[in-house]
Structure formats: structure tokens, C-alpha cells
Amino acid sequence: MSNVDKRVLKTDRLIKKTFVDLLSKEEISKITIKEICDQAMISKSTFYDHYEDKYILLKRISDEYAQKFQVRIHERFKSVSENNTFQVIGHITKELSVYNQQLSVLLRATKGEDSLENKMRRILIEESLTYFSFHPTNKNFSKIFLAKMYAELALASISFTLINHQNTDLLDQQNRFINLLQDAVKEND
């Protein structure tokens, strides 16, 4: 366990929360360090003790979400062979719903090659390629095609979840649809 002072962790969480709240209202280019500090009720020196600038803060938050996403997606692929995919998909969907606002803001705020969406895409492609390398797939499609198509469908599914997070009937249908797609990709016997 880390020996980091709880006050430092609490301040770090406050900075991140304040920044995401501000990002939900305005573009990053319009947000100032002073505004973050005023909203979080911290000094500029405290901010700079934690982050070099607002772009490093955004990258760090984005990296944390990508790391959590990596763990969940790894669990999801592991569950395919354990036959509990539906439970894992349900768990991922619930988690996305809980972080709906933050994730929506981060997906919108991060741009370019290092965007959260591109990080998620790379994670999905890598994890699915790993999975397809050790499991039979439908012989009509290459593994790279399946991995890339899976990544795009998963990103569309995430977007759907973020938009419809309060409609449990639609989310249930989404989970069933994902399982249908998964079954279609399996090798034809």
C-alpha cells in the first residue's frame, strides 16, 4: 500500500473533479489554472505541486480512465471462455453509467492520436487480437478485420451506453445484441 498522505490524495481528487466539472461547461482552451484553483479552493502552488499544466492534468485523467478500461476489457475477453460474458458486459455497462458525465466529457475534450477514444480503440484492438490468437474464429474473416470491427462496434456501444444510460430496457437489449454478435463471430462448426 502506498504511503501517500491522504490530504494529497484528497486534493488530487478535488483538482480532477473540479477540472472535469469545468470541462463539462467549457472547452479546455478557455479554462484557466486560476479558475480551477478558485473552484477547488486551492492555491496555484498547490495545483502546480500536482500538475505542470491543465493539459498534463487532462492526459493523466484520460490515462487513468484508459487503464481502468484496459482492466475491464481484459476481464471481458477472459470471460468469453469462462461463459460469463453477459455478467461482465453488464458490469462494464453499469460502470460506464456511473461515470457517464466524466467519460462523456473526457471523450469530447481529448483530441488527436492520444485521445481517450483512440486509447480505448487501441486497447480493444490489442485485447481482441490476443483473444483471437488463442481462440477459434469464423474463418470467413481475418483476425485483424475482426479485431478492428470489434473495436469500432464496442466504441459505438459505449457511445450508446453513455447516451442511453438511464434506460435499463435499452441497455438490456444492447447486452443481448452484443452477445448475439459475439456468437456470430465464433467459428462455424
Residue 164, pLDDT score? 87
pLDDT tier for residue 62 given thresholds of 50, 70 and 90? very high
Q: Kindly list the distances between the CA atom of residue 129 and the CA atoms of 10, 73, 123, 148, in Å, as whole numbers in the listed order.
A: 38, 12, 10, 9
Helices 85-98 and 143-163: crossing angle in degrees, nearest 10, is 50
Q: What is the CA radius of gyration of the chain?
A: 19
Per-residue pLDDT of 18-54, as tens digits, reads 999 999 999 999 999 999 999 999 999 999 999 999 9
d(CA 167, CA 70): 26
Residue type, 172: D
* Cα 108 versus chain centre, distance: 12
CA distances from 186 to 10, 44, 92, 140, 165 (A): 46, 55, 22, 11, 29
Measured CA to CA, the distance from residue 181 to residue 184 in angstroms comes to: 5
pLDDT, one tens digit per residue, over 160-173 is: 888 888 898 998 89
CA–CA distance, 60 with 189 (Å, rounded to integer): 46
State the pLDDT confidence band at 83, using cuts at 50, 70 and 90. low
Alpha helices (H) in 110-167, listed in sequence order: 116-134, 143-163
Band (86; pLDDT cuts 50, 70, 90):
low
> What pLDDT score was predicted for residue 35?
97
- Spatial separation of the C-alpha atoms in residues 59 and 74, rounded to whole Å: 22
pLDDT at 186 over 90: no
Please, what is the average pLDDT of the chain? 86
Q: Which residue has the higher pLDDT, 151 or 57?
A: 57
Determine the pLDDT at residue 13: 95
- According to DSSP, residue 188 is labeled P
Which one, of 186, 171, 103, 100, lies nearest residue 139 by Cα?
Answer: 186
